Structure 1
Amino acid sequence: MRSLRPAPADAVKTLRAARMRPGDVLRVGATGLRTRPLRAWLSALGIAIGIAAMIAVVGISSSSRAELDRQLESLGTNLLTVSPGTSMMSGEVGVLPYEAVAMIARIGPVERVAAVGQVPDVHVYRTDRIPEAQSGGMTVCAAELGILGTVGAELADGVWLNEATSRYPAVVLGASAAEQLGVTGAGVEVYLGGQWFSVVGVLEPVVLAPELDLTVLVGWAAAEAYLGFDGHATTVYTRAQDAYVLDVAGVLAATADPSAPDEMSVSRPSDALEAQQAVDSAFTGMLLGLGAVALLVGGVGVANTMVISVLERRSEIGLRRSLGATKGQVRTQFLAESLLLSALGGLGGVLIGTVVTVGYASSQGWPAVVPYWASAGGVAATLFIGAVAGLYPAVRASRLSPTEALAAQ
């Protein structure tokens, strides 16, 4: 019969020094979540909502900027416009000289130049039975043939004016003008200046010259012959070489009207789009703050769940301590449970935010962009929240003595 002898001292030291392997930590932490699935799911959902909000905000904003960058790349940032401003002496709107377009074309780095001239007191109607006051805010402009390529406009239907049609009663409608008139394509007639004009084309929305969207464009010669146009340009569009855009902008006013350069207004349409991008970035920052608040609320939910879990599982903690589990192992168990709970919420939030971003970007026709740093940062944020939220409950659990924990049941 084998005698009962105390375990060797080395064996005792080995038992005391035993540590939980990573796989054991994960299994023990997951056990707490599996035993209370509904509570774990609701806590993870709070984290997921905060992360999904942040990912969606960053993703949609990044997709919008990618679309804007794509537009600027295709349309270019080298478009400049010059138009007469208000005279400081008389207070009246100035007039561009007849030679303005020709003079601007002589600037070396200028690649394209074309002008439009507003025809005053002429409005467009779908029929001749509409009251004159119901013009819909549309304007009629004489247009040079090169305006289409200069502003980067495209046709939605029909054709652009040519040498022949620009001399006869023919018009091209801006996108918004066509919508207001109820015109879906070429081949119909509209009424302006007391006579009928044939619609030969309809433009797509012009990103860099949105003022043309609500405009009816007539050939320069036809506007003079049929509508009493005086031949003065009201806006000159200029394309300059990319490296010399600022230089051209500096001399454009003086070149357009040497007698009154201070009364000329020079602008770069792409600056408005870039300003819009800056506004979007500021708005994104505000929404990210709201997402962070939602994430913080989710973290409080995780902390609450873990505190309740410690209170409910005191007998388990006492039993584990009685069987030799150290304070560190108990602490590791509950901290791992908190981290797993937060990680599940974080991964779910990243997935939900990505799906929302892709869906919204697709509906707008944008490229879907979810920055990798946003996804990685979202998961890292949830792990940090989980560690902070689970630290106090884990420490509290580790401080329970076996006798105290078992006596509480």
Structure 2
Amino acid sequence: MSLPRPARLRPADLLRLGLIGPRTRRLRSALSALGIALGIAAVVAVTGISASNQAHLLDRLDRLGSNLVTVSPGTDPDQRPVPLPKESVTMLGAIASVQQTSATGDTKAAIYRTKYVSENQTNGLSVRSARLHLLDTLRVGMRSGRWLDRGTERLPTVVLGAGAANRLAVTAPGQKVWITRDGERTSGQWYAVLGILQHSELAPEIDESALVGGAQATAHLGGDRTPSTIYVRARPDKVAEVQAIAGATANPAAPHLVSVSRPSDLLKARTETKDTLSGLVLSLAAVALLVGGVGIANTMVVGVMERRGEVGLRRALGARQGQIAVQFLIEAVLLGLLGGLAGLVLGATVVYGYAAAHGWPATLPVTWAATGPATAVAVGTVAGLYPALRAARLSPTGALRAAD
């Protein structure tokens, strides 16, 4: 008499069988899923924080305008700066696609908090002459006080960048600082602080500068009206065109000796650098996933060894090899899925918490949010293949004998 054909297990039955291992070995299963969770959390957190930072930078760029072009002196073959012509600001302003121009110039002055400070303690600050339309062109606001005007640009008054004010411990307009020419501390004079600027995103050199009027710089601080940095605000759709002709316009005699850059390109390079760093951390996250996969494989192999009696009994009652293999494979997949979902929640929590702490718009890439758990399931599947096949190959008699 032939034995009845083994019944097919329904998907619900296979799922219940697959849950036996995680339910009965909770601590071991939790630790195995934890490795996967940490790897997925690292992937989600790194990509989410990078995306949030990029969104924050782009938002600030949109508000500041990414149409600012900076023109400055280049260097000759001997690496000496080649000054721009004094007319270069006017010539750049004559370009049809240019909306605004302004400039700063170098001086031979140094600035100190008091006249008793040592001459070599300049804090790395520069004293520059500034044109009256500088703030409009840079779109930088005043933190406190006011900007130079036609009256104060001729007087011993100064406007400090945000960094310069911090280094000089100047907290409010009305305070005085000591400015000298040619580093001769004893021959300087007091300058009244007219105002303090907000942080300049597109022109960070302004933050570390003390700005005086052009007439005052020329008369007392060694300035000569020669621009050291020209800021050009172009039409947004003509930035590349202006950037291409700015060198020849600023110095027609030697356009190759003019340096032309776009500060927003520097921010783009900064973002690309952060992406490179993200790639490094993603590599570390991949290692964490690998470790998690090894943990799942180890748990499944040990589970197969401990449950040989169960496997032998089921095989003796008619369970097929495929059903045994699917049972253990489902266990591995469930561990990967639980780890992936826990990692997604943990990573998203880190992203939103970090973004909130820095005042950034929280951004969680949908691709990575979906890819994380899917990757965890894939890792669990691969890690569970060998243990599942090993369990399926156990013979009923051999498994029961080993269990005894």
Query: Structure 2 length as normaliser, TM-score?
Result: 0.92
> Are 1:244 and 2:238 an aligned pair?
yes
Check if 1:286 corresponds to 2:250. Answer: no
Q: Provide the residue aligned with 2:29 in structure 1.
A: 40
Q: Which residue of 1 aligns with 2:96?
A: 108
Q: Distance in 2 between matches of 1:226 and 1:258?
A: 31
3-state SS in 1 of match to 2:388: helix
Q: 1:151 aligns with which of 103, 126, 138?
A: 138
1:319/1:406 contact within 8 Å kept: yes
* Residues in 2 aligned to 1:326 and 1:201: alpha-carbon distance in whole angstroms: 84
What's the secondary structure of 2:375's corresponding residue?
helix
SS at match of 1:367: coil
Aligned length: 396
Aligned residue for 2:162? Answer: 175
Q: Choose from 363, 383, 397 the match for 2:377.
A: 383
C-alpha distance in 2, partners of 1:175/1:249? 28
Residues 222-264 of structure 1, C-alpha deviation per residue, up to 9 Å, x if partnerless?
A: 3234434222211111011122222222222222222333322
Q: 2:213 aligns with which of 219, 229, 233?
A: 219
Describe the superposition over 1:169-195 as per-residue Cα deviations: whole angstroms up to 9, x where unpaired.
Answer: 221111211111012232311111311
Equivalent position SS for 1:207:
coil
> Partner letter of residue 161 of structure 1?
L
- Map of 2:114 onto structure 1: 127
Query: Once the 2 structures are TM-superposed, how far is the Cα of residue 150 of structure 1 from its aligned partner?
Result: 1.1
Q: Is the 8 A contact 1:20 1:329 kept in 2?
A: no
Q: Secondary structure at the match of 1:407?
A: helix
Within 5 Å, give how 1:286-365 maps onto structure 2: 286-365=280-359
Change (3 A) 1:158 1:332: same
SS at match of 2:360: coil
Q: Which residue, out of 33, 52, 59, partners 1:63?
A: 52
- Letter aligned with residue 33 of structure 1: P
Shift of 1:42: 0.8
Structure 2: gaps of 5 or more residues: 181-187
Q: How far off is 1:125 after superposition?
A: 0.9
State how far apart, in whole Å, the 1-side matches of 2:81 and 2:399 are.
87
Out of 242, 254, 264, the position equivalent to 2:258 is 264
Change (3 A) 1:396 1:220: same
The CA deviation at 1:92 is: 4.1
Give yes or no for contact 1:84–1:93 (8 Å, CA) kept in 2: yes
SS of the residue corresponding to residue 389 of structure 2 reads helix
Q: In the alignment, which of 3, 7, 10 is matched to residue 20 of structure 1?
A: 10
Cα deviation 1:345-404 (Å, max 9, x = unaligned): 111111111122222223333222111111211111111111111111111112222222
Superposition map of 1:52-91 within 5 A: 52-88=41-77
Q: Which amino acid aligns with 2:378?
A: F
Q: What amino acid maps onto 2:94 in structure 1? A: R
Which residue in 2 is equivalent to 1:3? none
**For 1:117, what is the secondary structure of its paired residue?**
strand
TM-score, normalised on structure 1? 0.91
Give the C-alpha shift of residue 163 in structure 1: 2.9
Asked whether the 8 Å contact 1:302–1:338 carries over to 2, the reply is: yes
Cα RMSD over matched residues? 2.0
Moved more, 141-150 or 76-85: 76-85
Q: Distance in 2 between matches of 1:196 and 1:151?
A: 28
The answer to which of 31-40 and 55-64 deviates more is: 55-64
Q: 1:94 aligns with which of 68, 71, 82?
A: 82
CA distance in 1, matches of 2:305, 2:267: 57
Q: What amino acid is aligned across from residue 58 of structure 2 in structure 1?
A: D
Unpaired segments ≥5 residues, structure 1: 1-5
Distance in structure 1 (CA, Å) of the matches to 2:124 and 2:329: 66
1:141 aligns with 2:116: no
Separation in 1 of the partners of 2:81 and 2:170?
A: 33
Name the SS for the 1:150 alignment partner.
helix
Which one-letter code corresponds to 1:252 in the other structure?
A
Q: CA deviation at 1:20?
A: 2.3
Q: Is the CA contact 1:169–1:226 (under 8 Å) kept in the aligned structure 2? A: no
SS of residue matched to 1:123: strand
Identity %: 49
What SS does the aligned partner of 2:227 have? coil
Match of 2:398 in 1: 404
Quote the offset at 1:311 in angstroms.
0.4
Distance in 1 separating the partners of 2:32 and 2:235: 58
After TM superposition, give the deviation of residue 91 of structure 1 in Å.
6.0
Equivalent residues of 1:105, 1:113 under 8 A apart: yes
The residue matched to 1:113 in structure 2 has which SS?
Answer: strand
Residue 62 of structure 1 aligns with an amino acid whose one-letter code is A
* Deviation, structure 1 residue 165: 2.5
